[in-house]
Structure 1
Amino acid sequence: MSLAEVLRLLLRHWKLLLAVPLVLGTTAFLLTRHEKKTYTSETTLYTGIASGYTLKGNAETDFFSTNNAFDNLLNLIKSRETKEEVAYQLLTHHLQMKDHLDPARLNWNSLMRLHALLPAALRQQLTGPTQAETLARVRAYAGANDTNELYLLLNSFDPTYSVDALGHVNASRIQSSDLVKLDYEAEDPAICRHTLELTTQVFSEKYRGLRMDQTATVIKYYEVETARALVLLNTAEDKFLAFNRDNNIINYYEQTKYIAGEREGLYADITKIQMQYAAAKARLAAIELKLAGRNRALLSTGELLQQRRELEQLQAGLANQQLYGRLREPGTPTDAPRLQARIGELTEAMRTTLNDHYSQLNSVEGIPSKGLIDEWLRNMLECSDNKAKLEVMLQRKQEFMEEYHKMAPLGATLKRIEREIELTQKTYLALLTSLNDSRASQQNNELTTDLKVVAPPFLPLHAKGGKRLMLVAGGSFGGFFFVAATLLGLGLLDKSLRKPSVAASQTGLPVLGVLPPPSATPPAPGSYADTALDHLARQVVRRAGTQGAPTPFVVGLVSTRRHEGKTQLLQALAIKCRALGLEVLTVCPEGTDAGPDATYYPPALAVVQRWPLARLTQGQAAHVVLLELPALLEDTYPVAPLTEVHLLLLALKNTRTWEPKDAQALQDLRSLTMAPVEAVLCGVQAYESRELLVQHEPVRRRPRLRLAFWRRRAATA
């Protein structure tokens, strides 16, 4: 559909395009004549989420975290719990006033409306001595069941106390800053401001409580776990202490290191003493071999043996005192000096005993016996001393081995206890660190959740512009565009034969011409109707005047249905052809109104008796014979005259659609005649016929030429 067609379609229905917007605009104007005034107020809060200062310094910029924090804040403002709490507190403040009006909270009309909403008995029941008591009563009564007055009021569409009304509190972040703006509109300016104040107070407390509850739960968890870890750590340390006490361990690693060092030194001393003892023992045996006779027997006397045994005991005690003296604490008394003195005395006593029993001066080899006895005494003392030391060292070696075997398994157990202490300590320190971090986070939340009111809500003095003008304009323009869209949609979906090109494409027939809508008055010269009829007549005359055309020229007018306009077409062609000077004979079936000059025939009799064309025309002669046949789909039509028809005109009403049964009727008609079939579109408006009439402009002189041609043909005949 072209732009010109769209405009023509709209112009055709200009009355509807004006009437519907006018009706809708008037209706909107009348319905909004009692529109209530509304007042708007706003407040601005500073959050510090994006760039605020915390315990760790300036807040780090994180786009996703910041957006998440703002989303949480805005959703908390818009939550139902916040709206309900604001409604409770707003109603509480208004109930506390009773009959004493506070202009800063609400006006007189709002107070009267509250009295109308809640009965006096209920207001008295809900009102307590203090504001806190009244708030508690309101909450309890509203939450008691879902059928009481407060619950129904809260879930209604009341403009002041309902959740739906408080849902109009709009909260938004100002660009990418730390500021949040809240705005609200109400019928009462005082209620508008007071609602914003309560909303700010309620959601700030909820926001702080939510943040603090999160950290409080975490802190409580870490406190419990830290206390449990401390108990485990103390238990492990007590176990470690008891293990060291039971096993006489002061420092296991130093003790084992000392034992290992002492053992190595002891082994070296034992080796050294064994060598000295073996050497002294060998020398003593050599000296005893050199002594002979009574000198050798002297060494075996009872007194000397007694002194030797005592000497060995003293030397063993002295060696024991010297070896274990290093293990004693400083200041501990010792017997070493006494034993040394006694050993010296006993040595002198043995020397004296030997001198008293000496009876021989020289040995067998000639060596003096006195020197051998002295040397024997020295070696005997050295051998006895080394023997005592060796025995003590071997005893000490056995003690070291026992201590070593005792300390070796204790290391694994001690290691396991120390590892348990280390793990428990690490767990305790980690929990303690997390606890401190959580407490710092809680303190940080206390600092950062304190929302600051930058711009408090103001009392609006002027009402907000109403929506009356917008509704009237919207209704008018909406009605206009709705009607226009409906007309365009119907035009696009229209499948009727509205103009020649559409009729030609749907029927497959060439369109000979168009017939204007029927009119009670004859067409004026030069008008669209006159031009269209003239065009049709010229087309028929042109085909009748072609070389070889028979005389008379028979034109059949048919239609597939009734009331298609073929009778009007017959009359119009007859009038125009007679105006051109042609003799025209019109033949119509009985029941039609084609005028007094028409010849009528009975269709049923003509069909049964197979009347030829001459019988239908009753022998009358004319240049052009216009034969009208009954509707092809609805009536019975004669078949015999179709063989004598030279041109068939199919009348089609432009408001109808072309259907398969029409195509089948046309196909049956074509099978009965060789005459060409062309369409004539009836009831076409002027703007829809221009595509056909512009292509065939009228020529005024050509019909006169055709008239001379017909006269020559008539004279020849």
Structure 2
Amino acid sequence: MNYIISIIRALFRHRWLILLGTTFFTLLVIYYTRHMQGGYDVKATLYTGVASGYNLESDKRTDWATVQNSMDNLISIMQAESTLKRVCLRLFARILIQGNPDKENNGITASSYNYTYNHLKNSPNGAEILKLIDKSSEDKTVANLEKYMRPHRDNYIYGLFYYNHPFYSYNALKNIKVQRRLTSDLLDISYSSGDPGIVYNTVSILMDEFVEEYRRIRYGETDKVIKYFEEELKRIGKKLNLEEEDLTKYNVEKRIINYIDETKEIAAISKEYELREQDALFAFNSSKSMLEELEKHMDSNAKQVLKNMEFVDKLREASSITGRISEAEAMTVSSKTDDQTLINEKTRLSEIKQELNDLTSSYIGHKYTKEGASRTNIIDQWLEQTLLYEKAKAELQIVQNARSELNDRYVFFAPVGTTIKQKERMINFTERNYLTVLQSYNEALLRKKNLEMTSATLKVLNEPTYPISSNSTNRKQIVIAACAVSFLIIVALLLLVEMLDRTLRDASRTRRVTGFKVIGAIPNTSPSRYGGLTKTYVQLSVKELSNSLLRFLTKRKSPGVFIINLFSTSDNSGEEELGNLICGYMQSRMLNARFITYGVDFNTDSTQFLLAKSITDFYTLQGEDVLIVAYPPLSTSNIPSALLHDANANILVASADRGWKTIDKQLCEQLTQQLSKTDVPFRICLTNANRDAVEDFTGQLPPHTLLRRIGYRLSQLSLTEKIIFNLRRKAKEAADEDDDE
């Protein structure tokens, strides 16, 4: 509670500083906002059709996440730096082209034109840039400005957008607000500026530039994708044609009509030849074995027949004809000529057989062998088996040759099949790749068509309108805010100083800073401080202080006198002046009081003082009732403990306008250690105190005017105390003051 009271009293003490400071800052704000004008607002509404519009790419269900993403993209494009840069250049060009220095023209005020033209003309390269302005075409002017614009600090057009220009800078244009209206397809665009023509044309240009920027971004990426797919389709289609032509050429070179059917036919023929080879081999081996067995039963005469040259020639001819017949019969394809030849061969073979039989019959000498077997039968059998043997041999040779040729066909068809499959796989892969790219190409075309529909739905629902009247300014709110903020800042600074300041100043702060009680406060005795009231203030404060000291004079000390010790922590604290005032007041009350001080009445450097057990050791009493002793500052000399214990009151004299330093704290701690074993009171008396600090002890000081009475009661927080105006009482108090003087 004491802190709250101290804070309130501190604020009340600085009331004039708070009031004047707040008033000063408020007047400054009022002065600098005297030309403040209200801004002009322009609003427009854009229909997007993102949520409810027809979409070729989606089904009937609405993906709200996609819708929100699309709306965010539209808002971001509208507020993008590139879009605002084009708005800046087009607005700048339009003002210079359509503006008029004398009157408003096409919604462009004369003030905005003059400001823009003079700003450009006074720039270092103003004349050069003015040549870029084509009065006949706004688009050409914008193109010229874009070419001239370079990222350099000295480039006027670049600085126009990136510096803090009130109309064309990015910092000004990014204040354009774009907001979606609830969950609808509508975007609300609003902008405020100090010039009606600027704000109107800015929003109008933004609507056009946004649609163009949106189309550039969306069509740009889609056209690039479509172009890529077209190039890929051409490349893959050309590759597919080359691969198909290569496969066709390969089939022609290898004479392949249908690889699968041909390989199946070859496999069937191979199986047939394998069976025929087995049959031929079986017949060959059988006939060979039979010949060997028959030759064992032949005699020499029969064997000579076999060695006869004519017989051998006939036999060879029969073998050759048999081979040809077997080869002809093995052929799957035949003609009439081949059939006639085969018949002739068989006829000739029959003739040769007959001739062989005749030869064998003519050479046989005996009809039977020694074993009793018929020679004619053996020769006939041998001849028959020989022909069968030659036939089987010829058939085996033919089948083996066919198998050999068939193996060559296998060797031929094996790599051909692998190559054909590889080429077919490549063609299949290329074809699938072509179909995939074709599908992506169709999707890209569908995407482009959908973007065309989406862009077509971007429509300005509410066109921007030219503002006629400006908005009301918030100057009143600014002034009120400045007044409140300045008041709070001043109060906060004062409270901060109040908490950190260690100047003694008054009784409450002295007690909080030092920890010691305060017995009184004496004002500055200089007549210039309070004029004719200084003497009155001093008398009243000394009276209050002396009365407080008299309460401690209850028991005489060892010399038989009442002793009041005055000391300080530093020089010029006012203890001598205070001692004289107290002594004078007590003498006026008919008390035998005397004031003695160091360096005049006693020597603080003498042995008697330094080792004194009582004041009589260095001073001779002269029958005083009250002795007021002023000791040197504690920072320069030590006071014997016996002298402190032998006093009725020890008063530390401190100037109220001095700060309580660390050395003061240490000196007082040493002094309290000396007084720790005694009940002698230790107090602080403030000198050079202001009137408010003195009134804490004396009550309200004159003059007793109405404002002074109210101010005093407020400083004491006597908020509900009744104020009595008594003229007689007031006159009596004034007379008493005159008598005291």
Specify the code of the residue in structure 1 equivalent to 2:323.
Answer: A
Aligned counterpart, 1:22:
23
Question: Matches of 2:474 and 2:236 in 1, distance apart?
Answer: 68
Matched, 1:341 2:343: yes
Contact kept, 8 Å, 2:325 with 2:345, in 1: the verdict is no
Contact kept, 8 Å, 1:49 with 1:66, in 2: the verdict is yes
Give the paired residue count.
672
Which residue among 520, 529, 534 is the counterpart of 1:514?
520
Aligned counterpart, 2:407:
401
Aligned counterpart, 1:39:
40
Deviates more, 1:470-479 or 1:106-115: 106-115
Go from structure 1 to structure 2 and tell me whether the alpha carbon gap of 1:617 and 1:262 turns closer, same or farther (over 3 Å shift). Answer: same
Q: Which runs of 5+ in 2 are unaligned?
A: 525-529, 700-715, 717-741
Specify the code of the residue in structure 1 equivalent to 2:393.
Answer: K
Go from structure 1 to structure 2 and tell me whether the alpha carbon gap of 1:502 and 1:324 turns closer, same or farther (over 3 Å shift). Answer: farther
Matched, 1:107 2:116: no
Q: Which runs of 5+ in 1 are unaligned?
A: 590-600, 695-717
Question: Matches of 1:643 and 1:308 in 2, distance apart?
Answer: 173
Aligned counterpart, 1:472:
479
Aligned counterpart, 2:13:
12
Task: Indicate the SS of the match to 2:478.
Answer: helix
Contact kept, 8 Å, 2:315 with 2:356, in 1: the verdict is no
Go from structure 1 to structure 2 and tell me whether the alpha carbon gap of 1:411 and 1:186 turns closer, same or farther (over 3 Å shift). Answer: same
Task: Indicate the SS of the match to 1:603.
Answer: coil
Question: Matches of 1:502 and 1:149 in 2, distance apart?
Answer: 63
Go from structure 1 to structure 2 and tell me whether the alpha carbon gap of 1:267 and 1:665 turns closer, same or farther (over 3 Å shift). Answer: closer
Specify the code of the residue in structure 2 equivalent to 1:490.
Answer: V
Aligned counterpart, 2:281:
274
Please state how far the C-alpha of 1:338 moved relative to its aligned partner: 1.8
Specify the code of the residue in structure 1 equivalent to 2:630.
Answer: E
Question: Matches of 1:588 and 1:548 in 2, distance apart?
Answer: 17
Go from structure 1 to structure 2 and tell me whether the alpha carbon gap of 1:156 and 1:415 turns closer, same or farther (over 3 Å shift). Answer: closer
Please state how far the C-alpha of 1:545 moved relative to its aligned partner: 0.8
* Cα deviation digits, residues 283-333 of structure 1 (max 9, x gap): 5777788899999999999888777655544543443344342xx6xxx84
For residues 160-559 of structure 1, the aligned pairs below 5 Å read 160-174=167-181, 179-221=186-228, 223-224=230-231, 227-228=234-235, 240-241=247-248, 243-250=250-257, 255-280=262-287, 312-325=319-332, 333=335, 335-346=337-348, 349-350=351-352, 364=368, 382-408=388-414, 435=441, 437-448=443-454, 451-498=458-505, 500=507, 503-504=510-511, 506-507=513-514, 510-511=516-517, 513-515=519-521, 517=523, 521=533, 536-537=545-546, 539-546=548-555, 551-559=560-568
Please state how far the C-alpha of 1:666 moved relative to its aligned partner: 4.7
Task: Indicate the SS of the match to 1:126.
Answer: coil
Please state how far the C-alpha of 1:134 moved relative to its aligned partner: 3.3
Please state how far the C-alpha of 1:269 moved relative to its aligned partner: 1.3
Question: Matches of 1:3 and 1:321 in 2, distance apart?
Answer: 138
Go from structure 1 to structure 2 and tell me whether the alpha carbon gap of 1:691 and 1:384 turns closer, same or farther (over 3 Å shift). Answer: farther
* Cα deviation digits, residues 591-613 of structure 1 (max 9, x gap): xxxxxxxxxx8638755777996
Please state how far the C-alpha of 1:571 moved relative to its aligned partner: 6.2
* Cα deviation digits, residues 140-192 of structure 1 (max 9, x gap): 45559875765565555443344443233233455666554332112333432
Aligned counterpart, 2:144:
137
Matched, 1:583 2:591: yes
* Cα deviation digits, residues 77-122 of structure 1 (max 9, x gap): 3444323311222233344436597754323443444554456987
CA RMSD of the aligned region, Å? Answer: 5.2
For residues 76-155 of structure 1, the aligned pairs below 5 Å read 76-97=77-98, 104-117=106-119, 126-142=133-149, 153-154=160-161
Identity, % of aligned positions: 24
Which residue among 653, 666, 684 is the counterpart of 1:679?
684
Please state how far the C-alpha of 1:558 moved relative to its aligned partner: 2.0
Matched, 1:661 2:684: no
Specify the code of the residue in structure 2 equivalent to 1:185.
Answer: S
* Cα deviation digits, residues 35-75 of structure 1 (max 9, x gap): 23421112233456678764430587585x87776665545
* Cα deviation digits, residues 582-640 of structure 1 (max 9, x gap): 61514155xxxxxxxxxxx8638755777996799985434322233455558999999
For residues 556-575 of structure 1, the aligned pairs below 5 Å read 556-562=565-571, 564=573, 566=575, 569-570=578-579, 573-574=582-583
Go from structure 1 to structure 2 and tell me whether the alpha carbon gap of 1:104 and 1:529 turns closer, same or farther (over 3 Å shift). Answer: farther
Go from structure 1 to structure 2 and tell me whether the alpha carbon gap of 1:101 and 1:251 turns closer, same or farther (over 3 Å shift). Answer: farther
Deviates more, 1:465-474 or 1:434-443: 434-443
Question: Matches of 1:413 and 1:368 in 2, distance apart?
Answer: 67
Go from structure 1 to structure 2 and tell me whether the alpha carbon gap of 1:497 and 1:320 turns closer, same or farther (over 3 Å shift). Answer: farther
Question: Matches of 1:507 and 1:206 in 2, distance apart?
Answer: 75
Q: What TM-score results when the alignment is normalised by the length of structure 1?
A: 0.75
Question: Matches of 1:170 and 1:68 in 2, distance apart?
Answer: 18
Please state how far the C-alpha of 1:15 moved relative to its aligned partner: 1.8
Question: Matches of 2:182 and 2:538 in 1, distance apart?
Answer: 66
Contact kept, 8 Å, 1:277 with 1:387, in 2: the verdict is yes
Task: Indicate the SS of the match to 2:108.
Answer: coil
Matched, 1:651 2:653: yes
Question: Matches of 1:321 and 1:690 in 2, distance apart?
Answer: 154
Go from structure 1 to structure 2 and tell me whether the alpha carbon gap of 1:136 and 1:512 turns closer, same or farther (over 3 Å shift). Answer: closer
Task: Indicate the SS of the match to 2:23.
Answer: helix
Specify the code of the residue in structure 2 equivalent to 1:346.
Answer: R
Please state how far the C-alpha of 1:507 moved relative to its aligned partner: 3.9
Specify the code of the residue in structure 1 equivalent to 2:560.
Answer: T
Task: Indicate the SS of the match to 1:543.
Answer: coil
Q: What TM-score results when the alignment is normalised by the length of structure 2?
A: 0.73
Go from structure 1 to structure 2 and tell me whether the alpha carbon gap of 1:565 and 1:226 turns closer, same or farther (over 3 Å shift). Answer: farther
Contact kept, 8 Å, 1:554 with 1:624, in 2: the verdict is yes
Contact kept, 8 Å, 2:112 with 2:197, in 1: the verdict is no
Go from structure 1 to structure 2 and tell me whether the alpha carbon gap of 1:16 and 1:415 turns closer, same or farther (over 3 Å shift). Answer: same
For residues 44-63 of structure 1, the aligned pairs below 5 Å read 44-47=45-48, 54-57=55-58, 61=63
Specify the code of the residue in structure 1 equivalent to 2:396.
Answer: L
Task: Indicate the SS of the match to 2:7.
Answer: helix
Aligned counterpart, 1:714:
none
Question: Matches of 1:37 and 1:667 in 2, distance apart?
Answer: 66
Contact kept, 8 Å, 1:652 with 1:680, in 2: the verdict is yes
Specify the code of the residue in structure 2 equivalent to 1:18.
Answer: L
Specify the code of the residue in structure 1 equivalent to 2:94.
Answer: H
Specify the code of the residue in structure 2 equivalent to 1:320.
Answer: E
Deviates more, 1:243-252 or 1:651-660: 243-252
Go from structure 1 to structure 2 and tell me whether the alpha carbon gap of 1:689 and 1:50 turns closer, same or farther (over 3 Å shift). Answer: farther
Please state how far the C-alpha of 1:553 moved relative to its aligned partner: 0.2
